[in-house]
Amino acid sequence: MSIHSSLHNQANNRITHLEVYKKAITLFKTSRLLATYITDNKDIATMHTSSHGSDRYSLQMVMDSMSLAPDIAEIHTTFDMRMKRYRIRRMKRTISRIHKYCDFIEKHYGHAKDYISLLRQEIAAYRKAHANWEDNLFKNQMN
C-alpha cells in the first residue's frame, strides 16, 4: 500500500466517524424514507420525470440531503479556507431548504406527519452537530 493511499484511507476513516457526518447520513436516510412514503415508493429517476408536486419536492429533499456528507468530506480534504467557508454556507442553505420541504409536505400531505416529525428531529440533531463541528473545525485551523 502506498503512502498516499494510506493517508487517503486514514482521512476517510476519520471523516466517517465524525458526528456531523453520521448525522448527515441519517438525515439522508430519513429524507429518503419520507420520500418513499410520500411518493408511494418511487425511485429517484421516476420522481425526476414525474409532474406531481409531491414527487418533485421529495426528489429535491432527497438530493439536497444527499449532498451534505460529500460536502463534509470535501471540507476535510481541502486546504482552501474560502472553499471551506463556501461549502459551510452552502450546507446551511441546504438544510434550510430541507426544512422548507418539510413545511410544504406537511401542509399538502398531512398523512405523513410522523415521518415529517422524525425528519425535523434529524434536522435539529444535524444542526447541533454541524455547529459543534464548525466551531471545532475553525478552532483547529487557527492553532
**pLDDT value for 141:** 63
Scanning the structure block, which residue is given the C-alpha cell 476517510? 12
Distance CA 85, CA 15 (A): 18
pLDDT-above-90 percentage for the chain: 58
Burial code (b: 16+ CB inside 10 Å, e: under 16) for 60-69 equals bbbbbbbbbb
User: Which is more confidently placed, 124 or 112?
Assistant: 124
How many domains in the chain?
Answer: 1
What range defines the domain where residue 7 resides? 3-142
Distance CA 140, CA 136 (A): 6
Distance CA 12, CA 18 (A): 10
The candidate with the shortest Cα–Cα distance to 105, out of 53, 49, 67, is: 53
Cβ atoms of 54 and 81 within 8 Å: the answer is no
Model's pTM, two decimal places? 0.85
**For residue 14, what pLDDT band results from cuts at 50, 70 and 90?**
confident
Distance CA 137, CA 131 (A): 10
Query: Quick check: 97 pLDDT over 90?
Result: yes
Cβ atoms of 28 and 68 within 8 Å: the answer is yes
